[in-house]
């Protein structure tokens, strides 16, 4: 019983009665509002119903500047203060209340001097100063065809403070900075009415009732920030619980936390995606004293660094999950994923993907730990994780490659593990010099030589697999962004290896630039390809590499890359998400609307899936007809051969198609290659 009481305090959706006859709107953005440009601190009583606002200006909302979405245009300011007086006929008829705000870049809203919603500024209960800027950027949505953000109001707070007769909705809106090109404030207050009476006005055409979330076939993740606002940086310490009653068992929001119940540190994650109202999060499970808490979440291996990924512009909700599944079926490590539904401070946030963050770990990128005293010998040679990426999000320190990207611009390679700030000069120099050596070998006239060319430095199969997944998905960010690679110690292979795969939400036809929507063309040298490193095009000039690529593609096409296999996976996920996706798109009403950078806009969830499958079918066929190379050989030149016991030889080989095989023979067999085909068989007596 104690657990349920606590939930009722923190999570207002639990107290919302579902006895709602209909919804009406009592405050509109186009109402006449009193407003004050925030060039100084207003009277502290400005949020109260009795405040005399006769000296304030008045105008039709929305009020702001820029974007051509304002009915009343003001001067550029850091903040804007708004007041709207409205009348309530009968408070007993109100069962629920929801605030919709289209804002740029932050706001706090008050009902009769009591806070009811906020976003992107400060913590619950504080009053931001007039010159305080937002904690992150937030772009208005309505002027570009989207809908305002929805904030379900704690019904108990609402009932305790709403009055029969006159009330005041007071809102302060804050910009990212004084020189910002826009500020938006479009505000709507709607009420859930428990009978058929009509005392107010019909809701806007875009209005969707808030989700009353109670149960799910997906695990439920509940985060309570204890009044704090989640921001991009720094992380805040708060509480998280996970409800997972097992496969096939329904999870209820009132069930005990039975997968995780403890502290986390959390912040927003992502780069351009941070402008979306549905946010992704990076989190770390912690002990109460702040130390790392290495735990298994939803069956994934023990760790402390996690990501709550928010599919938003990807309306299939599955492009990353599909890619990671294909990566695993290719035999590579891919971040593990589990679908869930997320609730933050009592507000339903929709379908999320809890997944592993890319890091060095025995169950993730399994390479040697590079310690601070590893500055010589084999210990210096690994492990390292590096990447080509943006500097926003998780970007870090880098070095400038001696070779430009395809367009002739600079190519920067970033340190990911360890962070550059903790690496010693010897370690920084080693990994940079190693990649330099690879690039010079690849660029040289003898680049295909197996002794001194590119294959001396890289795991060729991993480069082939990255090329294949990028081209299958036609990932416009592939090669040039979110491209991870790692190097283990020399005594454990020690070659530069591509992966893990990461960030494919704009792939599979989901972008309207760089020819992403077309099923034809190679992403490596078209679309956004000008910003790619020269590596992959150069590799394709080697006929042996071409043949290995061709064989790998044909092997995968007969298996995990067969359209039946891919479509079965998509259909199985769609069935699993059937109920949850309906709630997700009730919360985020974006079906049938453009969300940057959609190439295709489906009116229904099924439309989105049909488009993705149709696109994939065309893409697979195009690659089948255009991929170069000849697949004639069976076993690759880097086949691993081990001899054991005296009665015979156990020969372990990995063929060019990626398959492992074991052959027992009285004599060892060794296959040699020069151009991707079998040249001769040597029998050693």
The answer to whether residue 119 scores a pLDDT higher than 50 is: yes
* Alpha-carbon gap, residue 527 to 525, rounded angstroms: 7
Q: Give the Cα separation of 33 and 64 in Å (integer).
A: 12
| Cβ pair 96, 210 in contact under 8 A | yes
CB-hemisphere CA count at 13 Å for 555? 24
| pLDDT over 70 at 638, yes or no | no
Residue 235 C-alpha from the chain's centroid: 17
pLDDT tier, 233 (very low <50, low <70, confident <90, very high otherwise): confident
pTM of the predicted protein model:
0.79
Phi, psi of 612, rounded to the nearest 5 degrees:
-65, -40
Does position 519 have pLDDT exceeding 70, yes or no?
yes
Domain ranges of the chain: 17-193, 215-356, 377-626, 633-685
Asked if pLDDT for residue 392 goes beyond 90, the answer is no
User: Following DSSP, what letter does each residue of 386-434 receive, concatenated?
Assistant: EEE--SSTT---EEE-SS--TTS---EEEEEES-GGG--HHHHHHHHHH
Residues 6+ apart with CB under 8 A from 2: none
Average of per-residue pLDDT values in the chain: 90
How far is 441 from 444, CA to CA, in rounded Å?
5
pLDDT in tens, 411-447: 999 999 999 999 999 999 999 999 999 999 999 999 9
Q: How far apart (Å, rounded) are the C-alpha atoms in residues 67 and 78?
A: 16
166 DSSP β-pair partners? 87
Q: Which fold has domain 17-193?
A: Jelly Rolls (2.60.120)
Residue 642 has a pLDDT of 37
At 393 the pLDDT is 55
pLDDT band at 351 (very low <50, low <70, confident <90, very high): very high
Residue-wise pLDDT for 449-491, tens only, equals 999 999 999 999 999 999 999 999 999 999 999 999 999 999 9
List the one residue out of 19, 556, 607 whose CA is nearest residue 329: 556
User: Quick one: average pLDDT of 254-274?
Assistant: 93
Beta carbons of 643 and 662 less than 8 angstroms apart: no
For residue 494, what is the DSSP state?
Answer: -
Q: Contact, 476 vs 506, CB < 8 A?
A: yes
User: d(Cα 311, Cα 320) in Å, to the nearest integer?
Assistant: 9
Angle between helices 460-473 and 319-329 (to 10 degrees): 150
Q: What is the DSSP letter of 132?
A: P
- Rounded CA separation 86/108 (Å): 18
Helices 543-557 and 460-473: angle between axes, nearest 10 degrees: 60
């Amino acid at each position: 019983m104690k657990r349920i009481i606590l939930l009722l305090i923190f999570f207002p959706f639990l107290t919302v009665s579902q006895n709602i006859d209909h919804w009406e709107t009592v405050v509109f953005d186009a109402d006449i509002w009193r407003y004050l440009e925030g060039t100084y601190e207003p009277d502290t009583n400005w949020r109260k119903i009795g405040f005399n606002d006769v000296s304030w200006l008045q105008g039709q909302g929305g009020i702001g500047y820029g974007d051509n979405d304002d009915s009343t245009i003001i001067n550029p300011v850091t903040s804007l203060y708004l007041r709207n007086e409205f009348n309530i006929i009968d408070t007993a008829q109100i069962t629920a209340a929801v605030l919709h705000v289209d804002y740029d870049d932050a706001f706090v809203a008050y009902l009769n001097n009591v806070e009811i919603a906020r976003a992107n500024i400060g913590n619950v209960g504080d009053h931001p100063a007039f010159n305080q800027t937002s904690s992150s950027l937030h772009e208005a949505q309505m002027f570009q065809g989207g809908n305002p953000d929805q904030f379900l109001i704690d019904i108990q707070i609402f009932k305790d403070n709403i009055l029969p007769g006159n009330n005041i909705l007071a809102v302060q809106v804050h910009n990212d900075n004084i020189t910002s090109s826009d500020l938006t404030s479009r505000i709507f207050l709607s009420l859930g009415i428990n009978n058929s009476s009509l005392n107010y006005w019909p809701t806007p055409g875009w209005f969707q009732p808030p989700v009353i979330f109670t149960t799910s076939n997906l695990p439920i993740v509940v985060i309570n920030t204890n009044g704090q606002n989640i921001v991009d940086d720094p992380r805040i310490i708060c509480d998280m619980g996970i409800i997972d009653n097992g496969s096939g068992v329904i999870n209820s929001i009132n069930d005990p936390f039975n997968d995780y119940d403890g502290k986390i540190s959390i912040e927003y994650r992502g780069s351009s995606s941070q402008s979306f109202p549905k946010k992704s999060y990076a989190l770390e499970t912690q002990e109460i004293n702040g130390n790392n808490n290495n735990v298994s979440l939803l069956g994934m291996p023990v760790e402390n660094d996690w990501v709550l990924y928010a599919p938003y512009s990807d309306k299939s909700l599955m492009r990353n999950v599909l890619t990671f599944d294909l990566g695993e079926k290719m035999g590579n490590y891919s971040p593990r994923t589990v679908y869930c539904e997320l609730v933050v401070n009592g507000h339903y946030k929709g379908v999320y993907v809890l997944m592993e963050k890319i890091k060095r770990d025995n169950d993730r990128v399994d390479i040697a730990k590079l310690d601070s005293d590893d500055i010589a010998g084999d210990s210096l040679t690994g492990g390292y994780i590096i990447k080509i990426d943006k500097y926003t999000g998780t970007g870090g320190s880098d070095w400038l490659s001696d070779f430009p990207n395809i367009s002739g611009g600079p190519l920067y390679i970033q340190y990911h593990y360890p962070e550059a700030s903790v690496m010693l000069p010897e370690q920084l120099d080693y990994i940079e010099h190693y990649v330099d050596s690879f690039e010079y070998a690849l660029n040289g006239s003898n680049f295909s030589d197996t002794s001194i060319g590119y294959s001396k430095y890289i795991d060729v199969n991993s480069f082939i697999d990255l090329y294949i997944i990028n081209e299958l998905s036609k990932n416009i960010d592939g090669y040039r962004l979110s491209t991870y690679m790692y190097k283990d110690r020399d005594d454990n292979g020690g070659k530069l290896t591509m992966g893990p795969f990461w960030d494919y939400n704009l792939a599979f036809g989901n972008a309207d630039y760089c020819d992403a929507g077309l099923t034809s063309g190679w992403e490596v040298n078209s679309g956004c390809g000008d910003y790619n490193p020269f590596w992959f095009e150069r590799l394709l000039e080697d006929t042996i590499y071409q043949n290995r690529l061709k064989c790998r593609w044909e092997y995968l096409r007969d298996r995990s890359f067969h359209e039946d296999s891919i479509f079965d996976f998509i259909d199985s996920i769609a069935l699993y998400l059937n109920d949850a996706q309906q709630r997700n798109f009730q919360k985020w009403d974006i079906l049938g609307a453009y969300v940057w950078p959609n190439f295709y806009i489906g009116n229904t969830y099924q439309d989105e899936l049909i488009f993705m499958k149709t696109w994939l079918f065309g893409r697979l066929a195009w690659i089948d007809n255009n991929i170069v190379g000849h697949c004639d050989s069976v076993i690759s030149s880097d086949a691993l051969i081990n001899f054991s016991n005296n009665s015979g030889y156990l020969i372990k080989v990995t063929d060019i198609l990626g398959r492992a095989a074991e052959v027992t023979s009285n004599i060892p067999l060794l296959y040699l290659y020069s151009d991707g085909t079998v040249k001769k068989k040597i029998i050693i007596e």
